Amino acid sequence: MSEVKVVKAPQDSGVPEAARDFSVAERVVLITGAGQGIGREIARQFAAAGALPVVADLNEDAARRVTHEIYHRGGRALAVQVDVADPESVQHMADAAMAEFGRVDVLINNAAMFASLDKRKFEYIPLEEWDRVIRVNINGPFLCARAVAPLMRMAGGGRIINIASDAVPKGVMNYMHYVTSKSAMIGFTNAMARELGEDGINVNCIRPGAVATEVERTVNPTQTLRESQVAQQCIKRGMLPTDLVGLMMFLSSPASAFITGQTIACDGGYTHSS
């Protein structure tokens, strides 16, 4: 019988080895669309857990406000203005992160167009609007991943987290450009996980439900619609941005080292299989 070698945690650490695997402390986490809504909460919570967020947003003032919030709470962060549909702007974002922190450990492709969109049948979607949604919601994650993958590869690994939507399996009406773009994130994740696996880069996708944030929408859901959705969930309450944070931290941590190419629903059981 072969000898079993037991490796003990360092004696000077008060944290069990298994618990340390779930830590995101000191990880540089680049979050697009982090000036408001879900992205803002992700940045704040990651910073509270000891991570170093790069708060990237089209609205530079909003990004700076989030970093100021983080600093006031004792954390550290970097604000960067970025248009994720512009290759030069995306490269500037990656360069700024490297200049400040020396690496990028995690990319969260959160930036997307939705709140500003009007509901309309697909025949009436202006081509310019369709193109803009595709550029931001599909080209954006592609450009961001393309910019950070070489940095992660040189560092020996990393994490890329893409964001889909429960609008995909539901086939939500009158937002075909948005639903199409979020459908693409699932295939995008599957293919990228195959390509980057040997580089130690894990690529996963989160499919959130309808999240209530402070962001104003062109078309707000009615109270009846909200109640109808909650009634169909296994967990009978509205979804908040904080409901996504634990899953994102797990996928950003060493604990998820053997998980890649997965799309994970986080919607209170609204779309779970029977």
Q: What are phi and psi of 190, to 5 degrees?
A: -60, -45
d(CA 211, CA 229): 11
Q: Which residues are catalytic?
A: 178
Q: What are phi and psi of 30, to 5 degrees?
A: -90, 120
Exposure string of 177-200, with b = 16+ CB inside 10 Å and e = fewer, is: bbbbbbbbbbebbeebbeebeebe
Strand ranges across the sheet with 78-81: 78-81, 52-57, 28-32, 106-109, 158-163, 201-208, 263-266
Is the dihedral angle over the CA atoms 99, 31, 20, 257 positive or is it negative? negative
